[in-house]
Each structure stands twice: as structure tokens, then as C-alpha cells.
Structure 1
Amino acid sequence: MASSRGKSFIGRFGVHIAVLVFVAIWTIPTLGILVSSLRDKDQLIVSGWWTALSTSSQTEAGRTDAADKQVEKDGKFLIMGNLFGAGDARTVTAFGTKAQQPTQFEAGTAADLGEGVTLQVNDDGSYVMSSPKAFEITRGQRVYFSASAPPRFTTDNYRTVLFSEGIGRSFINSLTVTIPATIIPILIAAYAAYALAWMRFPGRALLIAVIIGLLVVPLQMSLIPLLKLYNGVGLFFGVPAKTYLGIWLAHTGFGLPFAIYLLRSYIAGLPREIMESARIDGASDFEIFVKIVLPLSFPVLASFAIFQFLWVWNDLLVAMVFLGSGSDQLVLTGKLNALLGSRGGDWEILTTSAFVTIIVPLIVFFSLQRYFVRGLLAGSVKGG
């Protein structure tokens, strides 16, 4: 018994450790996005988010003042100034005058520039350029320096994203697309799943095989044929091409195979005795479906709702094709993508946008998460 209890304790401990590992694997990337979205953009491009609390170093270039700012002192001509702006807390660690050797001299030392000209850059960014004769340079001396800076955090990234023009409209567009595109497939798939699980009709097995086969069809392969079909039908009935109806139908078509497969697996595992008792009491298939199957199937319905909501909310390709890319048609992902520009190098906008887009899915997930695992196990255990 002691050995059995010992194994049971070890087993439970192992399960807890495994759960913690998986939670960490899923949480760390999200934490990284959050930290990166709050970092100063200059520090973000030179170091990873895990160094956010440590001092960062970056090599930059600047110029001294020109000859018109020189002063004469003790027989020498001096140009003095500071490479940093007011309130800059960075510290210069090394400097140089050539791009090939940007850290040739340590901060505080005098660099010989030839013909008696010296340049001294101090750790606070101040500099003194000295010459035995008057300077004649019309542009300042190019200076390269390595500067270390303390951690800097800011909310400017969020102000840029949340208060950019059109972001509110794109958020409403995303909700307008996502909510119906989540509800419609569930309604259709629930009826189809019940019929395929408990009703007998010719071609039922073939229909199930076709639905399973559709699970492996890539979205990109079916996107253009579906668009041509929709445009043809819309032209015949005089319906505009770029409408919410089109994108709802598109997401419904792409989501139905998985929805029917998942719901059928769960509904087929419901106890047969309940169905038979209801039939004996004179209940029709519709009454059994509405009063028995739907309430018992809520876990799997919630699970699919989470999946479908995430897919549609994060979608960009289908939205661009079926809804358009106009300022009044862009969904949130499209608008945030436009903020990145053509090169997409604004990392502070990218990380902030990523965190903004996951807020709503996180709310949906945590609202329905207690049904998530039960829904994922749909059909794994058959009823007696």
C-alpha cells in the first residue's frame, strides 16, 4: 500500500510539473510581447525583451558643432558641446571618428585627429575639440560612440496604436466579422452533426468521409475558386462583391468541416438510452436535438467557438479578399499591418499591435476555458 501510495504521489507530482512546464511555454511568449510593447523603441531594436531590466548598449553617430561655435582660450581654439540632448541619461563608454573603429578611444581620453587637433568625449556626452589654430570646418566633426542606457519603459507605443486614425473603426469591423462568423457555423454544424450521428439516411457514410476529407484542403487552394463562385452568384442576383455577407459565408465554409467533425464526435458519444427514452415518449428528432443534445453539447460548442473566434479574429487574408482594403473596410489586423509601413521594421508597433489583438481572444478564452478541455476530449470516451 505504501508503495502504491508512493507511486501515486510521484505520479501526481509529475503531472503538476508537466502542467507547469506547459503553462510556462504558453505564457513566456505572451510575457515577452507585453514587455517588448512597453520598451523604448531604441532599446527594443538592439536587445531582447529578457534584457529589459538591464543596461543596454548601442553604437550611434553624431556631430560636433561647426567652426562658428568655436571660442579661443589660453591660445587654443575650442569647440565644446554635448552629443546628448537635455535630460538624456545615457553614458558614453567609448568613441571614435571612423565608422570602421567606432569604439577606438575610451570615454574621457583625448583622441589625436592630426595637426595638433584633439577630441575628448566624456562619459556624460560632453566633448571638447581643441586646435592650435582657428577651425575652418563648416560642418561638425563626425563622432561615433557607444552609449549605455538604463532600462526605459514607455506607453507611447500604445498611444500610437490605440489613437491612430481609423483604429476604432477597424475594431468594430473585426467584431462585425468575427461574431457572426463564429455563430453561423455553430448553428449549421450542430444540426448537421446530430443528423450524421443519430439519423439514418442513404449516403450518410459517404458524406462523413467527404467532410473528413475537407479538413485537409488548404484555405489558400480553395480561396480563389470560392471567390469566383461568390462573385458569379453575386453578379447574377445583383449583390455587391465586397460585403459582410460574403466574408461571413467564406468563414462559414472554411470552418464547417472541422465544426461538423468535432460536434459529431461528441454528439455520437452521448448515451443512447437518453435518445431512445425520448423517442419512446414521442419526442421528434427536432425536440431531441433542442431539449437534450444542445444542452449536453455545450462544452464542445464552446470549444469550437474559441477556435473559430481565434481564427476569424486573427485573419487577414480572407478579410482582404472578401471585404476589401478600404479605410472603412479594414479589419483590425489589416489596420495594424498598415501601421507597420511597407518595410515592417517598427518593432515597437509590431509588438504593441500583437498584444492589442490578443486582448479580445484572451477574454473569450478565459470566459469559456472551463469547457475547453471537456470539448477537446469530444468523442474520446463513448457513452454506455
Structure 2
Amino acid sequence: MPATDYQSSSPSSLTQFGRSILSFRREQEDLLSLKWIGKLLDCFLVCQEEFKAILYSHKRQASRSPLDRMVSDYFERSVKALDVCNAIRDGVEQIRLWQKLLEIVLYALDHERSIGEGQFRRAKKALIDLSISMLDDNKDSNVAQRNRSFGRNNGGREKDHSHGNSHGNNNYQHQSLGHFRSLSWSVSRTWSAARQLQAIGNNINPPKANDLIATNGLAMSVYVMNSVLLFVMWALVAAIPCQDRGLQVHFTIPRSYTWAIPLLALHDRILEESKKRERKNACGLLREIQQIEKSVRQMSELADSAQFPLTEEKEVEVRQRVQEVSKVCDALKDGLDPLERQVREVFHRIVRSRTEGLDSLGSRPNNAE
């Protein structure tokens, strides 16, 4: 009997993941935004709980071959996702640092009174620091230093301005750059997000017909959960800055499965986004990162072309750009903390589900924590 004949055996609670993704796939403007990532993690947590309930209600069958091996493989696979969660948490912290630098630009220029040259100098220094910190972590530090002079008109003027800065501004410059350069990931320096995703995805194959028959269709539940785990971790790595990002993960999900259609559609959509010319070298596909990059580019061009005193027309343009920066800062302020809490919850839920699952099946190792 073909394996596809058993797709209806996959519990409806797990196929709800596909319907949940389908429901917000229509919100294309939210794709890869903080809000979208939050919805994705909510779906994962629901699936995790439903999967745990399925195993609990079929304990006897889950403790027998071949289902016991499949369930054990899933739990070991889920442990590999913990490192991804740690790396994503660090990526969120990195974005939070970018937010703080963007807020310096906002505070420097968001004034009711006329905007002067000193305020522009402070904003420009923050923009330079922000540009440097958004460069790929693997790039040579000399390249980052050269990017300080990318602005059209700041060749010699930057030195002149630095002599006129207050001690406080010089101290800020030293501390902020030093902090970014010393920032390290909580995972090891040799850790690779791309390799970790490959490890999570290894040997995730559709269940064979004889396994479906032997498990009364429950093998499909394990396969769905494996696929959900891989997709969610892959989407996180695609969106958030982390060490050695790589999106070339092979999803072996037949399109004949109804629950797989929206998942694969989202996978294709994210890949398309990653291949866009302006996104190829991005440190993350998160929508808010794109907005930060746009704000930095526009504000830097504005700062380079500014002549003082500002004309009324130029001051209006500056205030319009500042309003755009303010919206980006608000989005980050509203979205980063909830995302960090969700990633932490995913981490703890994976640990707890594995422990409870192995205990329930009576297969927990003696040395397990």
C-alpha cells in the first residue's frame, strides 16, 4: 500500500500546523517579520504539545518497535535544535545592540529646535558604528575598518570632527566599538548553523508503508513533527543573525501530503527572498533588519550631503527620515523582547518534552539530566 494512502492517519492535531501556516501565509507583508516569527514559534509550541499528547495516549505502542526507535530518534534530533535556540538568542541580542545605536541617531536628530552640525556628527558616528557592526562576523576586521570611509564626503572631515568632539563622545565611540568587537556567540567559535541544520535534517524520510501499517499510522506523526522541527529551526536561521548561516537544507517532504503544501510554499518563498540581489549578503532575512539597513543607508546619504545651516527643504527631509527611523525603533522595541521569551520557551519546552517523553516510554538514559 502506498505511503500516501496513510497520510490521513496523521493525527488532525498535528496537521493543524499546516493549516495554521496557511492562515498567515496570506499575510505576505509580514513574512519574516518579528510578528511572523512569533506566529511560527507559537505553531511549533502547539505542535510540540499535541505530539506529546499523542505519545502519551499511545504509550504502549510507542514503547514497541519500530515506533520506539522513531520517537527516540526525534528526541535526539530535537536536542540538536537547542544549540540553534542559543545561537538565535545571541542573534536577538545583536539586533538589540543595533537598535540602541539606531536610537542614538533618533535622539540626536529628533528635536523640535533646528538641527545643527553637532547633532549630525553624533548621529553620523552612531551610523558608522552601526554599519560596522552589521557586517558579517566572519569578515576580516580590516574590511570593517575600511567601511568607515564609504561615505562620499567624510574622507578628511571625519578627522576634523573627531578633534572637536567632547570627551564624552570620544568615550562613547571607544566603548561602543570595543563592545561590538568583543561580542562573542554563546556557542563555540567552530559551531556552524548550516552544519547544525544538516544534522537536524539527516535521515528525515517519509515513513515506509510497512512502518505505517506496523504503527497504525503513528509513524506519520513522528515524521510530521520531525519536518516541523526542521522547518522552524531553518526559518529561524534564515531570519536571525547567527554563526555560519546557511539555507541549503534539503526538505524531503512529498507535496502529495496536504499538511506539507503550505510549509513547502513558505520554504520556497523564503528561499526566493534570500536570492534577491539586495538580500544575498544580508546578515539575516528578518524584515526589521532590512528596515535597519535601509534607514542606515538613507540617513548616511543624508548626512553626507548635508550643508549647514540646513535649508528649510533639507530640514523637512531630515525630519521625515527621522520619523521612519522612529518607526523602525518602535518595531524593534515591541518585537525583540517577546521573541526572546518565545525562543527561551521553545528551548525549555524541547528539554521538558524530551525528558517527559523518555520517562513515559521508560527509555530515559540513566545519566540523563
**Structure 2 length normalisation: TM-score?**
0.25
**Greater RCO, 1 or 2 (C-alpha within 8 Å, sep 6+):** 2
Whose strand fraction is larger, Structure 1's or Structure 2's?
Answer: 1
Structure of greater Rg: 1
The structure with the greater share of residues assigned to helix is: 2
